[in-house]
Chain A
Amino acid sequence: MKTILSLGFLALIAVTALACASGSGRGAPSKISTAADRAATASPEAIPNAAMSDESSAVGCRSSQIPALDPTYVENPRPRLVPYPNILDSRGRLSSVDEARASGFDAELSSSSLGERSLRLVLLDETADKVKGMRAYYATRPITEADTIETFLVDGGVMVNEHVTIGNDAAAVKATIGEFANPVQIGPYEAALVWSDPIAGGFRAYGLYWSDGSLDFEVLGGVESPEMLVDFARSVYCG
C-alpha cells in the first residue's frame, strides 16, 4: 500500500514538472482570450456548473428539444414606478465589440444567424479603469431614440448582456426563481432558460443565463421560439 502511494506521489511530481516545462505554468500567457479557450481550460473546481466531459459538451452543441416551459406568470404585479428607460439613454457608452476587446474585455459574440436580425448597437459598461460589461443589441431595424427594452423585445430584438461575473450562473438563477429556471446546455456550461413574465401587453420574452466563471451571460430575446435563442448562444462555443 505504501509503495502504491509513493509511486502515485512520484507520478504527480512528474506530471507537474511536465506541465511547467510545456509552458502552462509561470511565464505562460495568463489571459484567456476566447470563450472556447475558457471553456477548454476551465476546471470543474473553478466553475462548479461546468460539465467538462466531451459527451456533455457535445450535448451542449447539439440542437435538441427544449424542456417544456411552465406557462404560468404573474398577472397583476405591483408595478415598477419607472417606465422602461430608453436604450440609448441607459447606462453604457456607445461603442463596438472591437473596442471592448481592445480595452481588455473578452467580449464574445455568437456567429449563428438570428434570421433577419443584425448587430445594431453595442454599449460598454465602464468604470474609471476598465470595461465591466458589454450589451449587444440585434434587431431587424435600427434602434431609435424612442426604443426601450420593451419595444425592442416586442419587435423581435435580441440583447446579449455579458459582464464580469457576479456569480449569476445557472445554479444561482435556479436558486432565485426555482422551477421557472429550465436547464439547458450551452457548450460545456449549464444554462437557465426562462420564459419572462409579460414585458408589455402580455408579450413574453425568453431569457438565457449562464456563466463561464469569468463572465456572466444573459441573452434576452423577443424571438419566435426558445430554440432559436439556445442555438444562437451555443454557437459561441460550438462554432
Chain B
Amino acid sequence: MRRFFFGSLPISVGVALLSFAFVVQPVLAGCFGSNNGAAYSYDHYFTAARSVEDFVPATVQPGRAVVHPLQLISPTGVDFIGWGTAKGIGTSDSGAISNCPDDYNGWNVYVDGVSFTRYFCRQQYGSVGSTALDQEFKFSYGGTSCGDPNFDKWRFYLNGDLKSCQRINTDEGDIIAVGGEAIGSGSQLIDIHFGALEWKSSATGNWYNWGSGSRCEDTGYRIRKHSDYNVHAEKIP
C-alpha cells in the first residue's frame, strides 16, 4: 500500500517536471517530499513547513515567472495551500477569491491554493525584491488568532510575521513541495536556491530537515543540471 512517491528512487524527495494545459505551455521544476518516503515515518504528516528562498531571475520575458517557495497538498489531493512570488500575468478572473493582478515590475508575494475545490489567490503582501534573498516562508496549522474563536486555520508567515489565514478541508498535509515556473514567449530562466526546507508534524514538535540526501533530478525536459535544494526553471523557445 505504502510506496515511495517516486517508486524507483530510494529517497523521498524527487523532482517533478509538469506541463499543464494552459494557453501558453508552462515549464515547472520542483522538488517535493511526501510522508510516504523513507525520510518520514508513516505516522508523520505535515502541520507546518517552511523554506528560505533566494533566486536569480536571470532572464524573464513577458509572460509569467513564478517561484513557489512552499506548497502543501491535502490527503485527498484536491485542496492545497501555497506561498508564491510572481512576476507577470496574474489570476484575477474569479472575483473576490482570486485577486492576483498582473504586475510585470516587481516580484510580488502571494498566497494561493484550492479551498473546498475553488481556487483562491491573494497578492497583497509586498515584494521580495529582485533576488528574494533569505526570505522565509512558513505555514502552520493551529492557533485561533485568525478571527475564529473556536477553530483553527492554516496560518501564513513571511519572515516570522503572520500575513494571512486560510481554511482548506484538512488540518494535515500529505505532501509538501517547492519549485519554480516559467511560461511565456522568449527565454525564461530562473535559478532558485532554497537555503532551508523543514517540516514538522505537530505544533510543539521539532523542525526536521527534508533530508540531507534530497536532490532534484533532470526528468528529460529542458531543465539544467541542479543540485541539492536548487531548482532551475527554464523555458527555451
Q: Which residues of chain B in 172-228 are interfacial with respect to chain A, using CB atoms and an 8 Å cutoff? A: 172, 174-175, 177-179, 181
A82 touches B91 (CB 8 A): no
- Complex interface: chain B residues within 8 A of A83 (CB): 16, 18
Please pick, from A75, A84, A166, A207, the residue contacting B93 in the complex, using a CB distance under 8 A. A75
Q: Is A177 an interface residue (CB 8 A)?
A: yes
* Cα A173 to Cα B2 with chains together (Å): 32
Best-buried of A79, A83, A161, A199 by chain B (most CB within 10 Å): A79
B150 touches A91 (CB 8 A): no
Chain B count of residues within 8 A CB distance of the other chain:
66
Q: Is B118 an interface residue (CB 8 A)?
A: yes
Q: Which residues of chain B in 1-43 are interfacial with respect to chain A, using CB atoms and an 8 Å cutoff? A: 1-3, 5, 16, 18, 20-23, 26, 28, 30, 32, 34-36, 43
- Complex interface: chain A residues within 8 A of B95 (CB): 72, 178
* Cα A92 to Cα B18 with chains together (Å): 26
Interface size class of A (residues with CB under 8 A): 35 or more
Which of A13-21, A103-111, A190-198, A223-231 lies at the binding interface?
A190-198
Q: Is B71 an interface residue (CB 8 A)?
A: yes
- Complex interface: chain A residues within 8 A of B94 (CB): 72-74, 197
Q: Is A156 an interface residue (CB 8 A)?
A: no
Best-buried of A87, A149, A177, A197 by chain B (most CB within 10 Å): A177
Chain A residue with Cβ nearest B201:
A127
Q: A74-B93, A90-B77, A178-B96 are in contact. Are A166 and B171 (CB under 8 A)?
A: yes
15 contacts between A and B (CB under 8 A): A74-B93, A78-B82, A78-B84, A78-B110, A81-B181, A82-B80, A90-B75, A91-B45, A149-B78, A167-B152, A173-B116, A175-B167, A196-B117, A197-B114, A218-B169
Residues of B at the A interface (CB closer than 8 Å) are 1-3, 5, 16, 18, 20-23, 26, 28, 30, 32, 34-36, 43, 45, 66, 68, 71, 73, 75-78, 80, 82, 84, 86, 89, 91, 93-98, 100, 110, 112, 114-121, 148, 150-152, 166-167, 169-172, 174-175, 177-179, 181
Residues of A at the B interface (CB closer than 8 Å) are 72-85, 87-94, 125-128, 135, 148-150, 159, 161, 163, 166-168, 172-173, 175-178, 180-181, 192, 194, 196-197, 199, 201, 205, 207, 209, 216, 218, 220
